[in-house]
């Protein structure tokens, strides 16, 4: 059995982003490719709500495919009809939710240092609670990536 000790935050910085906008009522599963291991540094969702009334909440979770292992802090200020917001989580940062410049950025909270790799069953699931088919979101995930 091989042992891997990640004693420093080394690796190659990689940004994984959606190639096309995802419908607001569709969950996205993200995991490393074969032979890769990640530490997530940040996650940003760009959410565009359509004209239909609903309170959209961004809910990223870490799952093993069956059970939720960890649910990240949700945005408490709902994204409502005709609103566009960026919702962000940063690794190693701890702060309360606040609006950024122009009120378009919700800094939600900390992304925990969770190792994700192809061979484990852990993966990141992005969900917009109350998301509608007319809504869209794009994601930008910054990771440190190493070969395993």
Domains of the chain: 12-147 (2.60.120)
What Cα–Cα distance (Å) separates residue 73 from each residue in 35, 55, 60, 96, 119?
29, 16, 8, 10, 26
57 vs 145: CA distance, rounded Å: 29
Q: What are the pLDDT digits (tens) for 19-36?
A: 889 999 999 999 999 999
pLDDT given at position 140: 94
pLDDT given at position 89: 84
- Could you tell me the two tokens for 40? 């997530």
DSSP H helical ranges for 16-104: none
144 vs 49: CA distance, rounded Å: 31
Tell me the pTM. Answer: 0.83
pLDDT given at position 90: 82
pLDDT given at position 101: 41
pLDDT given at position 30: 93
pLDDT given at position 118: 87
Residue 143, strand partner residues: 14, 40
Angle at 59 between CA 98 and CA 91, to 5 degrees: 60
Q: Comparing C-alpha atoms, which of 23, 141, 127, 24 is closest to residue 80?
A: 24
Q: Is 47 helix (H, G, I), strand (E, B) or coil?
A: strand
pLDDT given at position 122: 87
Q: Comparing C-alpha atoms, which of 32, 56, 7 is closest to residue 123?
A: 32
pLDDT given at position 50: 95
User: What is the maximum span of the chain, computed from C-alpha positions, in angstroms?
Assistant: 55
Walking along the chain (148 residues) 10 residues at a time, the average pLDDT comes out as 63 90 94 91 92 91 83 79 89 53 64 83 91 95 90
């Amino acid at each position: 059995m091989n042992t891997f000790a990640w004693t420093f935050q080394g690796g190659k910085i990689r940004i994984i982003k959606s190639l096309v906008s995802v419908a607001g009522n569709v969950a996205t599963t993200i995991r490393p490719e074969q032979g890769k291991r990640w530490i997530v540094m940040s996650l940003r969702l760009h959410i565009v709500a359509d004209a239909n009334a609903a309170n959209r909440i961004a809910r990223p979770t870490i799952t093993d495919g069956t059970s939720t292992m960890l649910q990240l802090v949700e945005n408490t200020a709902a994204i409502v009809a005709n609103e566009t917001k960026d919702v962000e989580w940063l690794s190693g940062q701890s702060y309360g939710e606040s609006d950024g410049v122009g009120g378009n950025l919700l800094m939600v909270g900390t992304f925990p240092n969770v190792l994700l790799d192809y061979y484990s069953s852990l993966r990141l699931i992005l969900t917009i609670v109350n998301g509608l088919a007319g809504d869209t979101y794009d994601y930008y995930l910054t990771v440190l990536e190493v070969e395993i």
